[in-house]
Structure 1
Amino acid sequence: MSEVLFLGGLGRSGTTLVERLLGELPGVCALGEVVHLWQRDLRDDERCGCGERFSRCDFWQRVGKSAFDGWENVDVDRVQALRRAVERTRHIPRLAGAARPSDEVREYAAYYARLYRSAAEVSGAQLVVDSSKHSALAHVLRAAGGLDLRVAHVVRDARGVAYSWTKRVARPETDGADEMTRYPPIRSALLWNAHNAAFDLLARRGTPVRRIRYEEFLADPRAGLLGLADFAGLPLQPGDLDFLGLGQANLGIGHSAAGNPMRFTVGRLTLRRDDAWTRALPGAQRRLVGAVCGPMLRAYGYPLKHEETR
């Protein structure tokens, strides 16, 4: 039985930070956003979090050998076709309500189950962390055999998420040639509602889900990691969190397949909340996002009104 902690939530909510810190714990293998591995790594040969091209990363080559007898045996076209067929937000009601998953859902989920199992074997880890975030994928993984699946639902104030989606961020894996996707605030607000509601639905369908707020996690990352480790059934010893200091963490080299540029950070990482949105997101946009996301903001304990910070 493979033990998997899936980090879910809308992008720009802090999942990469949570993943990097979890990856420093003994017994944990953090894989990054596996959902993008098939295209960005197998097809495009982008850089792993360790800095090497995917095709030259010893860790991922050993995983591919163990899982599929070599990555060349993976039909990427088939994986992508399955993803288009079953892993879409609009499919979540069907995924959640089906008494029995379809053959396509089970086939798609099996690719992930084989990869998780092999990553655990190659790394010797007890717990594999996938920060793919996508709510539809989390629902699909319910159909994977041999998985002890637990989900950490990472939530951030919708207005902070909306502001982050407006910023220009270069993608280091393409040597700055491309930028990460950008969304206008109204679209990110609608996506914030949809994805967070999908994780609430996942919990109601019986999957173990623990919600964590980005702001609270950063205020006390030690307590946040202890809580997640306990949720995932990962025993820790005194000293396992020594990589955390006052307002900072010391990160080693990881093997994140895809994700936020933070996955390339090695050494000291400053831990502080990014509240730039409270002064940089225009008031009209801040109020619009607050109105659209108001009920769920309130349910998650966020104030509906924020004073601009200087």
Structure 2
Amino acid sequence: MATRTAGLSPGQVQRLEAAARGIRDGALPPAQHTLGTLLAEASEHPEALRLLGILHTRARQPDAAREVLTRALGHWPDDPLLLTDLGNAEQSAGDVETALAYWRRTCALAPDYPMGWFNLGRNLQVLGFTEPAIEALEHACAADAGLLPAHVLLGDALVHLGRFDEADRSYRAALGLHPACGDAWRGLANMKTRPLSATDRDRLAALLQRADLAETDRIAMGFALGKAREDQGAYAEAFAALGDANARQRRLAPWNAGGFHAFTKAVVAASGALPTPVDPTLGSEAIFIVGLPRSGSTLFEQILAAHPQVEGASELPDLGEVLAEESARRRQPFPQWVPAASAQDWQRLGQRYLERTERWRRQRPRFTDKLPENWLYSGVLAAMLPAARIVDARRDALEAGWSCFKQQFYRLPHFACTLTDIAAYVRDYEAAMDRWQAGAPARIRTQRYEALLADPEAEIRALLDFCGLPFDPACLDFHRAMRSVRTPSAAQVRQPLDRNTARAERYGHLLDPLRLGLGRPLAPR
């Protein structure tokens, strides 16, 4: 730190550190003011410029971030932190290739710097480049065997490629460093075809009795214990563990069901009068798989990705980020600006999305984007990417809702922390999608999970036909497809179809709040 702040007075160093804390905590305007006054006194100081660049990246101002960070790089051309931050700015701007070049340069300049390899591996994994991510994370672990996050992330990457034995060892290496590492327990429990052992269950339950656990670890371990108790057949104990974990998760950031209902109504209303597309063929490359999480979306993607014309890109953030960029440009939140958007505006946004996702079409002409919450944009996609196909993955709402309650979601606030919020979310989602599908059946297909289980070949043929794809027998053997699967279902979709996936009825009246919200009969007493 002394080297990075050379040339600054003690008071200026204190202000620099205060700005860094402000950026970390999300207090961007005061941090920007502090950095502005500091740079007025210490013109072009590289560390102050670096922090300002990080601030601009956090504020979704990638062009400003690149300009400031490039100035800093002129003073410190081989600085690993600056190169990493420039990579982050380029990624935020959608220039993935340049971002990767900066991160790789960091590792080339500082091959013994574990955080350089960790950052490269983490970002490769986020971008879907799982095999090189594993290589980078292995370098990070070799450079610093005590780097706990690298072991966890390496375990995640290995799971995504179906290398479960190696993943197990990586998660357990993390537990060797920190026995109460919630993310490691989460990773072990999320290998859903490999139940935790009796020893693991006892160890996990004992750890949860400790008073000194970090709350984030306690939450993740609670979800893991819930999964372990269900595998045991101890349903009341499973529900208790999951209920406690969800209550703690919700206290971190409560979900506003009423606000979300109003937002959904506004999105549906705004989608009702869109302009005729400039190019009705725009977006024919894209297949969106949307719906409620835990409804079979990963399974449907695995089926489509087994086709020689389709690349499975998993859960991409690009659609939401393109719309967020437009909201920032117009200084209005989505969907307030939608009625003012012209056909040319939607054409521009559609082309922007295709530019950002171009890397997924280098080997195959079509690709899937299976971020579940993209269902919210199914209406406006009629103007933005009119030739895209949208697969609405539907599973029995009681089973899907209960499965959501059992799964820890990291993007907060999240609807899945209470059974009543889950029911409200399901009602909003189904009402919107049913309306959009009824108005555009050639563009949106309701694909039912239970129908696939009952007649796999007929449903797979119908799905391929809807997507404009010729039948290929490889789609029937989807579990043999060798690809990265970056969701909690990574283990399940590498198995043949399991027709015995229903679990909700085993919990009886404990799920009555969900049944009531879904308009279902209550469990018999």
Partner residue, 1:184: 418
Structure 2: how far apart are the matches of 1:12 and 1:291?
20
- Secondary structure (helix, strand or coil) at the match of 1:212 reads strand
1:163 counterpart = 2:381: no
Partner residue, 1:203: 437
Q: CA 1:306 to 1:26, structure 2 compared with 1: closer, same or farther past 3 Å?
A: farther
Deviation at 1:221, TM superposition (A): 2.6
Deviation at 1:234, TM superposition (A): 0.3
Q: CA 1:9 to 1:77, structure 2 compared with 1: closer, same or farther past 3 Å?
A: closer
Structure 2: how far apart are the matches of 1:220 and 1:165?
25
Q: TM-score, normalised by structure 1?
A: 0.62
- 1:36-47 superposed matches below 5 A: none
Tell me if the contact between 1:165 and 1:185 (Cα under 8 Å) persists in the aligned partners: no
Structure 1: how far apart are the matches of 2:333 and 2:348?
10
What amino acid is aligned across from residue 285 of structure 1 in structure 2? Answer: L
Deviation at 1:243, TM superposition (A): 1.8
* Residues 56-112 of structure 1, C-alpha deviations (whole Å, 9 max, x = no match): xxxxxxxxxxxxxxxxxxx99847957x9655xxx49x96xx485598866654432
What amino acid is aligned across from residue 272 of structure 1 in structure 2? Answer: R
Structure 1: how far apart are the matches of 2:437 and 2:511?
31
Structure 2: how far apart are the matches of 1:220 and 1:213?
11
Structure 2: how far apart are the matches of 1:263 and 1:140?
30
Partner residue, 2:380: 140
Partner residue, 1:261: 488
Partner residue, 2:83: none
Partner residue, 1:250: 480
Structure 2: how far apart are the matches of 1:266 and 1:283?
30
- Secondary structure (helix, strand or coil) at the match of 1:152 reads strand
Number of aligned pairs?
238
What amino acid is aligned across from residue 514 of structure 2 in structure 1? Answer: V
Structure 1: how far apart are the matches of 2:514 and 2:494?
36
- Secondary structure (helix, strand or coil) at the match of 1:211 reads strand
Which of 252, 271, 285 is residue 511 of structure 2 equivalent to? 285
* Residues 214-263 of structure 1, C-alpha deviations (whole Å, 9 max, x = no match): 112123332221111011110124x334525xxxx323113x5x5x2224
Structure 1: how far apart are the matches of 2:311 and 2:327?
25
Which of 334, 337, 352 is residue 111 of structure 1 equivalent to? 352
Structure 1: how far apart are the matches of 2:371 and 2:290?
7
Structure 1: how far apart are the matches of 2:407 and 2:342?
39
- Secondary structure (helix, strand or coil) at the match of 2:306 reads coil
Q: CA 1:113 to 1:37, structure 2 compared with 1: closer, same or farther past 3 Å?
A: closer
What amino acid is aligned across from residue 218 of structure 1 in structure 2? Answer: L
Tell me if the contact between 2:419 and 2:514 (Cα under 8 Å) persists in the aligned partners: yes
1:35 counterpart = 2:269: no
Q: CA 1:38 to 1:212, structure 2 compared with 1: closer, same or farther past 3 Å?
A: closer
Deviation at 1:190, TM superposition (A): 0.7
What amino acid is aligned across from residue 35 of structure 1 in structure 2? Answer: P
Residue ranges of structure 1 left out of the alignment (5+ in a row): 40-74, 172-177, 295-303
Structure 2: how far apart are the matches of 1:148 and 1:187?
34
Structure 1: how far apart are the matches of 2:463 and 2:515?
29
Tell me if the contact between 1:152 and 1:211 (Cα under 8 Å) persists in the aligned partners: yes
Partner residue, 2:77: none
Structure 1: how far apart are the matches of 2:491 and 2:333?
31
Q: CA 1:184 to 1:107, structure 2 compared with 1: closer, same or farther past 3 Å?
A: farther
Partner residue, 1:42: none
Structure with the bigger percentage of strand: 1
Structure 2: how far apart are the matches of 1:36 and 1:283?
41
- Secondary structure (helix, strand or coil) at the match of 1:189 reads helix
Partner residue, 1:65: none
Deviation at 1:213, TM superposition (A): 1.5
What amino acid is aligned across from residue 292 of structure 1 in structure 2? Answer: G
Structure 2: how far apart are the matches of 1:292 and 1:155?
17
Partner residue, 2:454: 219
Q: CA 1:136 to 1:144, structure 2 compared with 1: closer, same or farther past 3 Å?
A: same
Structure 1: how far apart are the matches of 2:424 and 2:344?
31
Tell me if the contact between 1:6 and 1:129 (Cα under 8 Å) persists in the aligned partners: yes
Q: CA RMSD in A?
A: 3.9
What amino acid is aligned across from residue 200 of structure 1 in structure 2? Answer: D
Residue ranges of structure 2 left out of the alignment (5+ in a row): 1-280
